[in-house]
Amino acid sequence: MKTTRAAKAALAAGLSASIVAAQGCSNVIVPSHALPVVASGWQAQLVVAGLVKPRSIQFDSTGALLVVESGKGVTRHSFTDNGGTCVTLTKSTVLIDQAALNHGLALSADGKTLYASSVDSVFAWDYDPNAGSVGGRPVVVVNNMGNNDLVTRTLLMSKKQTNTLLVSRGSSDGNEAKATVLSSGLSQIRAFDLSASKSRVYDYDTDGTVLGWGLRNSVGVGEHPITGGIYAVENSIDGVTRDGKDIHENNPGEELNFFGYLNATKANQGGNYGYPKCFAVWDVSEIPESDGLGVGKQFAIQENSTLTDETCASDYVAPRLTFPAHYAPIDIKFAADGKTAYVTFRGSFDKTQPAGYRLASVAFNADTGEPVASPDSNDALTDILTNANQTDCPDKCFRPVGLAFDAAGRLWMTADSTGEIYVLQKTSSSPTATTGGTFVTAT
């Protein structure tokens, strides 16, 4: 990105970047719906509109932004950086014209191989970041992932274990029982060491290392920047009952799960996280026969002689944190200092009062790489960007999806249903409230 002379001069004169943006940003675009509410100590701005379902995003080594537009392909966007959140789109090109690409995106450590996913496969292209082009036809890296309904195949290229690509695959709705069979490859996160062979095509069902299974749909996968701990955010089931009673309004909770490390330490790796048998409690007051249950403990839909809340606890891995039901977490990205994870929540469809629809943060201990909140917390999220009136969701709301940090430490976020990309910058090291920040419109 280019930094303008005015921004440099202002920074040299001691003005903060956010003041520069507030005073001097021209051609600011405004969201199609009500202005988002920004947490104190943050500034946010809409910088791209009119995209086709933007999902995962990733900066290349030149600072251009790569975007998976679901049903279209991968597009590449260049900006002029005027400081603060005042970045101006200068050029957009279609990098990969392939309608089957729908969510996953990753770059190799050297930035010269681009990975993107369809429901069935992970593809790799040679990528020239300076020319902004891919070379020829892609090779298939992982295949045999097709299933209905839960179709995202999230990709994460590890920064700690170079050439290890993580691929998350959800359940097959209507055939949940298959997820109890490891070789089905359903409801899992697997790691593939791509350094072994350039030409190998991995079969998802049988190859790679299983980091975790029994996961309904762990769409967001992140790596803690200090410890290398792998975390994923889980979209749990809809329409849950307990002993025949409908408890779906506030249960089960969405989950943050821990999958150990990609190094030689195998502890906390390969466990079963419970789906489709055990689910995390969010609101215990809704649950019949709730003795021994509480936030984050896992429960059985109907206890019987072999499956009880106790066997859920002893035989399956409980979440490290639990979030409100139906929030629909999609991405998780850690700040470079390892003290915060940012999580997008795309929001509910199966709830009387809409829920989710926000960007929130989770505090982490940088040294241990663990969340600060305990597993029974019902208060681990801090809102960063929310919709003004959630009653209007989803129709009149932005729906957060992909996240990426740029080289200046700003956080970029896609919203798929509105075709938007937002930029957020922290303007205070200790924000105090979930309102009171600045959303930049006209100046």
Ligand X SMILES: *[C@@H]1O[C@H](CO)[C@@H](O)[C@H](O)[C@H]1NC(C)=O
Which of 162/389 has CB closer to ligand X?
A: 389
63 binds ligand X (CB under 6 A): no
Q: 3-state DSSP call for residue 116?
A: strand
228 binds ligand X (CB under 6 A): yes
Among 23, 195, 389, 443, binds ligand X (CB under 6 A): 389
Span of 186-194, 304-312, 334-342, 410-418 interacting with ligand X by CB under 6 A: 304-312
176 binds ligand X (CB under 6 A): no
277 binds ligand X (CB under 6 A): yes
Among 13, 131, 196, 264, binds ligand X (CB under 6 A): 264
Span of 184-192, 201-209, 256-264, 282-290 interacting with ligand X by CB under 6 A: 256-264
Span of 1-9, 103-111, 231-239, 259-267 interacting with ligand X by CB under 6 A: 259-267
Which of 11/388 has CB closer to ligand X?
A: 388
Q: 3-state DSSP call for residue 63?
A: coil
435 binds ligand X (CB under 6 A): no
The two three-digit tokens of residue 24, written as one number:
């001097």
Angle between helices 5-12 and 17-24 (to 10 degrees): 130
183 binds ligand X (CB under 6 A): no
306 binds ligand X (CB under 6 A): yes
The two three-digit tokens of residue 271, written as one number:
């466990």
352 binds ligand X (CB under 6 A): no
Contact (CB, 8 A) for 234 and 322: no
386 binds ligand X (CB under 6 A): no
In angstroms, what is the minimal distance from the CB of 126 to ligand X? Answer: 32
Q: How far apart are CA 114 and CA 124, in angstroms?
A: 6
Q: % helix / strand / coil in the chain, to the nearest 5?
A: 10, 40, 55
Q: Which helix (H) or strand (E) holds 20?
A: helix 17-24
Give CA separation, 92 vs 54, 77, 419, in Å: 13, 4, 14
285 binds ligand X (CB under 6 A): no
Which contacts qualify for 23-31: CB closer than 8 Å, 24 or more apart? 23/443, 24/82, 24/86, 24/443, 25/82, 25/84, 25/85, 25/86, 25/440, 25/443, 26/88, 26/443, 27/88, 28/86, 28/440, 28/441, 28/442, 28/443, 30/441, 30/442, 31/398, 31/418, 31/420
Span of 11-19, 239-247, 330-338, 388-396 interacting with ligand X by CB under 6 A: 388-396
In angstroms, what is the minimal distance from the CB of 264 to ligand X? Answer: 4
35 binds ligand X (CB under 6 A): no
241 binds ligand X (CB under 6 A): no
Q: How far apart are CA 160 and CA 16, in angstroms?
A: 33
394 binds ligand X (CB under 6 A): no
Q: How far apart are CA 155 and CA 208, in angstroms?
A: 14
406 binds ligand X (CB under 6 A): no
Which of 28/182 has CB closer to ligand X?
A: 182
Contact (CB, 8 A) for 213 and 187: yes
Q: Which residues bind ligand X (CB under 6 A)?
A: 227-228, 261, 263-265, 277, 304-307, 389, 391-392
